[in-house]
Amino acid sequence: MDTFVLLVTIAVALFFTYTNGFHDSANAIATSVSTRALTPKAALAMAAVMNLLGAFLGSKVAGTVSKGLIATPEGRHGMGILFAGLAGAIVWNLVTWYFGLPSSSSHALFGGLVGAALAGGTEVHWDGVVDKVIVPMFVSPVVGLLVGYLVMLAILWFFRRANPHKAKRGFRMAQTLSAAAMALGHGLQDAQKTMGVVVLALVIHDPGRGFGIPIWVKLICAAMMSLGTYAGGWRIMRTLGRRIIDLDPPQGFAAETTSAAILYTTSYVFAAPVSTTHVITSAIMGVGATKRVKAVRWGVAKNIVGGWFITMPAAALVAAACFYLVQLVFG
C-alpha cells in the first residue's frame, strides 16, 4: 500500500509538471509569437525541446524545494501532506489558466506545500520560505522591470541610426535565440521544482535514501514539462503577448533576454526558485515603458500583479482543504 501511495503521489507531481508546462509555455514564447518572429507551432516545439534540455542543467533549485521549505514529513501521513500540496497547486493552476491569468505555477506549488504542511502539523522552514520564495517574489519583478527598461533603452540608443525595417527584421531573427534562451531558463527553473517534490516523496517513502536526484526522475519530469509545453497555453499567451502592450521584435528580444539572464542568475547563484511568470511579465512592462508610460496597459498589469499576491495564500487554502479531505477519506 505504501508503494501504491508513493506511485500515486509521483503521478500527481508529474501531472502538476504537465499543467506547469502548458500554463507557463506562454512565458517562453508569447513575445516571439506576438511579434511574428516564430509561428505558434514552431515556437511551441522549440520551447518543448529547450525545456527538456534546461531540466538537466542544474539541481540547486530542486534541493531548495525538497529540503528548504518544509520539514520532511513521515510515513503515509507525510505522503498525504505532499499529495494535498500538489493538489492545491494543480487546482490553482487550472483556475488561473481558465481565466487567462499568468499567475505563478511556482508560487502555487510553494503555497500548496506550506498550506498542506500547516494543516498536517509539519514544521515550515519560514526562514527558507522568506529567503528563497517571498524575497525573490518581490525582488525579481522589480529587477525584471528595471533591467528590461535599461536593456531596451540601450537597444534604442545603439540602433538609433539604423534603418527601422532592417533592424526589426534582424531582431525578429534574433528573437529565435532569445526565446530559446528563455525556454531553457524555464526548464532550468520549473522542471527542477517538480524534481524536488518527487525526491521529497522518495525520501518520505525511504528516509535512508538521501536527497540525491536519480536520472529517471530528471527524465520523467523534463519529459512531462515538455509535453505540457507543447500542449500550449493559448489563453495566457494572448494576455502576455498582446494585452499588456503590443510588442515589436526589438522589444520582444529585450524582454526575453532580460528574463533569461535573471532565470540563470537566480538558479545558479542564489538557488532561488523564482517565478518565470513574474520575470517575463515585469520585463515586458519595463520594455514597454520605454515607448511611453501610457503604452503599457497598466489596468491589465494591475490585475496580473494582483494574481501574483493571491496565488500563494489561495493555493495554501486549497491544499489545506485537500489535506483534510484526504484525512477524512483515508484516515
- Tell me the domain boundaries of the chain: 1-330
Mean pLDDT of 214-243: 73
Contact criterion met (CB below 8 Å) for 205 and 2: yes
The neighbouring-strand residues paired with 124 are 70
pTM score, whole prediction:
0.85
Model confidence band, residue 244 (pLDDT cutoffs 50, 70, 90): very low
Model confidence band, residue 241 (pLDDT cutoffs 50, 70, 90): very low
Can you give the pLDDT at residue 313? 93
DSSP one-letter string for 152-189: HHHHHHHTTTS-HHHHHHHHHHHHHHHHHHHHHHHIII
Per-residue model confidence as pLDDT tens digits over 80-122: 999 999 999 999 888 877 776 667 888 899 999 999 999 999 9
For residues 243 and 8, the model is more confident at 8
C-alpha cell at 208: 535512508
Alpha helices in the chain (DSSP H): 2-34, 40-54, 60-67, 75-98, 105-119, 126-129, 135-158, 164-186, 192-205, 215-231, 234-238, 249-268, 276-289, 298-330
Lowest mean pLDDT among 34-38, 275-279, 324-328: 34-38
Share of the chain above pLDDT 70, in %: 86
C-alpha cell at 102: 499568468
C-alpha cell at 78: 507525510
Ranges 147-156, 277-286, 303-312, most confident: 147-156
Closest CA to 105 of 72, 70, 65, 149: 65
Asked whether the predicted pLDDT for residue 226 surpasses 90, the reply is no
Residue type, 141: P
C-alpha cell at 309: 499576491
Can you give the pLDDT at residue 304? 63
Asked whether the predicted pLDDT for residue 27 surpasses 70, the reply is no
For residues 72 and 229, the model is more confident at 72
C-alpha cell at 288: 514597454
Model confidence band, residue 229 (pLDDT cutoffs 50, 70, 90): confident
Contact criterion met (CB below 8 Å) for 113 and 315: no
d(C-alpha 74, C-alpha 204), whole Å: 5
For residues 236 and 55, the model is more confident at 55
Can you give the pLDDT at residue 48? 81
Closest CA to 240 of 195, 294, 280: 280
Mean pLDDT of 63-69: 91
Mean pLDDT of 231-241: 55
Can you give the pLDDT at residue 271? 87
Mean pLDDT of 51-74: 89
Can you give the pLDDT at residue 105? 81
Mean pLDDT of 239-268: 80
Can you give the pLDDT at residue 301? 62
